[in-house]
């Protein structure tokens, strides 16, 4: 499989709970949980937002299980390993197969050495690449600190099960206005969508802020780019096939050669795949969700998240206690 030998294996550690339904090839859900949460001021991935101590990840996994996913893979930092084992691996035993890998600065192509100035890994594309030995089937990708909604996981699952083109991926898209925080700026991949529903391009746009009539983001010349709020954005809810490891791996090596030892340089998923979309090597379907995103980008976001969860529990979307 392309990309399977791309990384050294001595930095990986995993726990696997065998799925008894091994004859059924179900898609995997990859949870990106290695972020530092600097704007939030703490480990937001493990912050409790549900009435019985649930995290946002718990609700995403609950939605993924009932949508039909067969395995969860966490990408984590080594320092939160014990928390992940205690909070997720033990609780999910018997419910779904579980695996996790570490994203570290030593996860590099053979022969590449880390600059002494580099202190952290290389972003979301790198996070996907460190899972190349663990995922052999179509898989979805989510952020650990984002709530995506029940409908979104059903849309993602159905695509991964039914679309058989190995080089066709998907984004579950949202209206920008449904993804903004009341407490500060956010980063979003703004999608250009063709009449055929395929992605034309994606621009990682930083520091998007909500305004009275939409949103805005700063430009390099000091002016602002304005948005209506109806633009289609990516919330890092992707559907991939195993072929993506080759494309992401090729682009990551070029990135490392070009600027990867810059202490702050990162390679995000939209930047990695944009050129492959434009040259026709891959296609990406935009599958729209009507769900409203929420997350804990900032600590001030938490009360709204807690209130939203409680409202859904009262409407029967979730039980009062997941586990």
DSSP secondary structure, 259-296, as one string: HTTSTT----HHHHHHHHHHTTS-EEEEEE--PPPEE-
Residue 72's nearest CA partner among 162, 144, 168 is 144
Give the other-Cβ count within 10 Å of 109's Cβ.
15
> What gap in Å lies between CA 31 and CA 105, rounded to an integer?
19
pLDDT at 43: 64
**Tens-place pLDDT, residues 163-208:** 999 999 999 999 999 999 888 898 898 999 999 999 999 888 999 9
The residue ranking higher by pLDDT, 261 or 86, is 86
> What gap in Å lies between CA 254 and CA 276, rounded to an integer?
14
The residue ranking higher by pLDDT, 139 or 104, is 139
The residue ranking higher by pLDDT, 196 or 114, is 196
pLDDT at 35: 66
> What gap in Å lies between CA 111 and CA 117, rounded to an integer?
18
Phi and psi torsions of 303, nearest 5°: -55, -40
The second-level CATH assignment, the architecture, of 28-314 is Alpha-Beta Complex (3.90)
pLDDT at 275: 87
Work out the mean pLDDT of the chain and round it to a whole number: 88
> What gap in Å lies between CA 25 and CA 257, rounded to an integer?
37
Q: What is the helix (H) or strand (E) element at residue 302, kind and residue range?
A: helix 302-314
pLDDT at 83: 87
Please check the confidence at residue 224 and state whether its pLDDT lies above 70: yes
**Tens-place pLDDT, residues 49-105:** 999 999 999 999 999 999 999 999 999 999 889 988 998 999 999 999 999 999 998
Q: What would the mean pLDDT of 152-166 be, rounded to a whole number?
A: 97
Q: What would the mean pLDDT of 228-240 be, rounded to a whole number?
A: 95
pLDDT at 204: 83
pLDDT at 19: 44
């Amino acid at each position: 499989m392309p990309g399977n030998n791309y990384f050294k294996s001595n930095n990986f550690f995993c726990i696997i709970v065998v799925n008894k339904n091994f004859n059924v090839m179900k898609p995997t859900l990859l949870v990106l949980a290695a972020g530092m949460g600097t704007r939030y001021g703490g480990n937001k991935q493990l912050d409790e937002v549900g009435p019985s101590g649930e995290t946002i990840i718990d609700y995403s996994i609950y939605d993924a299980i009932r949508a039909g996913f067969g395995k969860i893979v966490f990408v984590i930092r080594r320092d939160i390993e014990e928390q992940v084992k205690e909070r997720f691996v033990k609780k999910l035993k018997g419910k779904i197969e579980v695996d996790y890998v570490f994203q570290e600065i030593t996860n590099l192509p053979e022969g590449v050495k880390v600059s002494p100035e580099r202190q952290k890994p290389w972003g979301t594309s790198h996070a996907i690449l460190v899972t190349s030995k663990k995922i052999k089937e179509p898989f979805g990708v989510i952020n650990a600190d984002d709530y995506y909604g029940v409908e979104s996981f059903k849309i993602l699952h159905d695509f991964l099960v039914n679309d058989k083109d190995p080089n066709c991926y998907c984004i579950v898209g949202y209206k920008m206005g449904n993804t903004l925080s009341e407490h500060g700026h956010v980063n979003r991949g703004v999608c250009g969508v063709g009449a055929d529903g395929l992605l034309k391009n994606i621009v990682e746009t930083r520091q998007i802020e909500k305004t009275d009539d939409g949103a805005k983001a700063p430009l390099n010349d000091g002016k602002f780019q304005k948005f209506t709020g109806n633009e289609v954005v990516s919330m890092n809810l992707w559907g991939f096939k195993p072929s993506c490891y080759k494309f992401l791996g090729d682009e990551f090596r070029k990135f490392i050669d070009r600027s990867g030892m810059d202490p702050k340089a990162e390679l995000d998923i939209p930047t990695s795949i944009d050129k492959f979309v434009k040259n026709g090597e891959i296609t990406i379907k935009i599958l729209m969700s009507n769900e409203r995103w929420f997350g804990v980008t900032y600590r001030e976001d938490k009360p709204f998240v807690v209130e939203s969860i409680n409202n859904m529990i009262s409407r029967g979307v979730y039980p009062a206690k997941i586990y």
